[in-house]
Amino acid sequence: MDRPAAAMPVAVSPGPHLCRVAAHGARGPVDTGRTGPAGPASSAASLLSPHLAPGTRLEVTVTVPDDWTAGGAQPAAGAQPAGGARAREELWAALTGAGARSVRVIEASVAAAAWWALCASAPAPARDLLVLRIACRRVTAARCTADLSGAVRQVRLLGIASSRYAAALGRVLLPSAPPAGHPGTSAAAGDDPFEAALAGGHRRAAVVLPRARQVTRYRTAMAYRVGGTVLTAGAVLDALTPAGLAIRSARSELGPAGPLDVLLTGGPARLPLARAGLIDAPGDAIHVLDPEATVRGAAAIAAGDVVVTAPAEPSVLLERVAAGLLEVSRHALGDAPAVEFDPPGEVRCESAGVRLMARIGADETARGPWTLGWWPDRDGHGTLVLRPVTGEPGVLAPLRREGP
Contact between 108 and 66 under an 8 Å Cβ cutoff? The reply is yes
Give residue 265's pLDDT: 87
Q: How far apart are CA 344 and CA 351, in angstroms?
A: 23
| Arithmetic mean of pLDDT, 12-40 | 88
pLDDT over threshold 80, residue 70: no
pLDDT over threshold 70, residue 219: yes
pLDDT over threshold 90, residue 295: yes
pLDDT over threshold 50, residue 177: no
Confidence of residue 105 (pLDDT cuts 50, 70, 90): very high
* Average pLDDT value for the chain: 79
Give residue 26's pLDDT: 93
> Taking the domains of the chain in order of start, what are their residue ranges?
6-111, 123-289, 315-401
pLDDT over threshold 90, residue 306: yes
Please give the C-alpha separations between residue 293 and each of 11, 112, 246, 311, in angstroms, as whole numbers.
Answer: 12, 6, 23, 23
pLDDT over threshold 50, residue 332: yes
Give residue 62's pLDDT: 94
Give residue 155's pLDDT: 94
- Beta strand segments in 135-239, E: 138-147, 153-164, 222-226, 229-232
Nearest Cα neighbor of 198 from 183, 213, 178 is 178
Nearest Cα neighbor of 384 from 316, 318, 327, 335 is 316
| Longest Cα separation, the chain | 89
Helices (H), 256-402: 293-303
Q: What is the pLDDT of residues 247-277, one digit of tens each?
A: 778 777 886 666 788 898 877 777 776 555 5
Please give the C-alpha separations between residue 133 and each of 3, 142, 154, in angstroms, as whole numbers.
Answer: 43, 8, 20
Give residue 88's pLDDT: 93
The architecture that CATH gives domain 6-111 is 2-Layer Sandwich (3.30)
Q: What is the pLDDT of residues 277-286, one digit of tens each?
A: 566 566 778 8
Between 200 and 160, residue with greater pLDDT: 160
Fold classification of 123-289 is Nucleotidyltransferase; domain 5 (3.30.420)
Confidence of residue 190 (pLDDT cuts 50, 70, 90): very low
Contact between 339 and 318 under an 8 Å Cβ cutoff? The reply is yes
Asked if domains 6-111 and 123-289 share a fold, the reply is yes
